[in-house]
């Protein structure tokens, strides 16, 4: 069995190469040995972070980032098949999860949806570039316990606060657990806008949601 570190590095290097075939090959090689969540967080996402840094330094350009993003999305879809679904009679809670209006970044948000679903939550992923009012309407429609709000740009972060304000106006704030995330979000930001949960990655999001809803596992 190849070393975990070696397999993860191969995956992250493949993402950095921005070639879909390389990514799927490296992921398929690791699938038998490593858990899907490990591959996603420590292989694919690690590579994507590196892509982001190279983009910032002008070493990679937007078309490369788009190719890497597409490869990552496909790889996560493939890995969903490997995730043991924690099947219970009743879901641990109902979650609405989306990316704020004006923001098309959805890779991280979709990973959070996938991991919550695999952990026994009923998840409605409402997509990206979602108007604030749509979050409120979907929470009502599905009688959701939790709303996950993703924002990947400093310019769209404010959208998280807007949704909290709308929840207050609708008299729904006390009945809805608000969870925020995305690269520019921090615990300090979450505290400032009065969110209930901040999570820096999908595994932490699952643990904190379970903790908040009092779910045992």
For the record, the structure tokens of 59 come out as: 């070493």
Tell me which residues in 166-195 interact with ligand B12 (CB under 6 A). 179-184
**Cα–Cα–Cα angle for 150, 37, 160, rounded to 5 degrees:** 10
SS3 152: coil
- Helices 45-56, 4-17: inter-axial angle, 10-degree rounding: 40
Shortest approach of ligand B12 to residue 110 CB, angstroms? 8
The footprint of ligand B12 on residues 96-115 (CB under 6 A) is 102-109, 111-112
Residue 148 found at the interface with ligand B12 (CB under 6 A): yes
Type and span of the H or E element at 115? helix 107-118
* Closest distance to ligand B12 from the beta carbon of 170 (Å): 20
CB of 1 to ligand B12, least distance (A): 26
- What's the min distance (Å) between Cβ of 89 and ligand B12? 26
Contact positions with ligand B12 (CB under 6 A) in 16-55: 41, 45, 48-49, 51-52, 55
Q: How far, in Å, are 71, 88, 120, 124, 211 from residue 217 at the CA level?
A: 32, 12, 10, 21, 8
From CA 100, how far away is CA 42, in angstroms rounded? Answer: 26
Contact criterion met (CB below 8 Å) for 148 and 179: yes
Q: Are 96 and 139 in contact (CB under 8 A)?
A: yes
Provide the minimum distance between the beta carbon of 90 and ligand B12 in the complex, in angstroms, as a whole number: 23
Phi, psi of 2 (to 5 degrees): -65, 150
The answer to the question of residue 202 lying near ligand B12 (CB under 6 A) is yes
Selected range binding ligand B12 among 14-22, 86-94, 148-156, 163-171, rule: CB under 6 A: 148-156
Query: What residues line the site for ligand B12 (CB under 6 A)?
Result: 41, 45, 48-49, 51-52, 55-56, 62, 65-66, 69, 102-109, 111-112, 148-150, 152-155, 179-184, 199, 201-202, 205
């Amino acid at each position: 069995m190849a070393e975990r570190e070696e397999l993860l590095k191969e995956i992250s290097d493949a993402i950095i190469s921005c070639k879909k075939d390389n990514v799927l090959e490296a992921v398929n090689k690791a699938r038998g040995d490593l858990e899907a969540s490990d591959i996603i967080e420590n292989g694919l996402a690690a590579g994507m972070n590196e892509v982001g840094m190279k983009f910032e330094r002008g070493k990679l350009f937007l078309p490369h980032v788009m190719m890497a993003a597409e490869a990552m999305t496909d790889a996560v879809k493939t890995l969903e098949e490997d995730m043991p679904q924690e099947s219970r009679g009743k879901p641990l809670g109902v979650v609405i999860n989306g990316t704020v209006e004006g923001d098309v970044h959805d890779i991280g948000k979709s990973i959070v949806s996938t991991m919550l679903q695999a952990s026994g939550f009923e998840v409605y992923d409402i997509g990206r570039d979602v108007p604030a009012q749509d979050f409120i309407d979907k929470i009502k429609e599905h009688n959701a316990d939790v709303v996950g709000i993703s924002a990947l740009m400093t310019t769209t972060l404010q959208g998280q606060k807007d949704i909290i304000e709308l929840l207050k106006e609708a008299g729904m704030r006390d009945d809805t657990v608000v969870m925020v995330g995305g690269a520019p979000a921090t615990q300090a930001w979450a505290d400032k806008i009065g969110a209930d949960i901040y999570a820096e990655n999908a595994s932490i999001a699952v643990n904190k949601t379970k903790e908040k809803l009092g779910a045992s596992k």
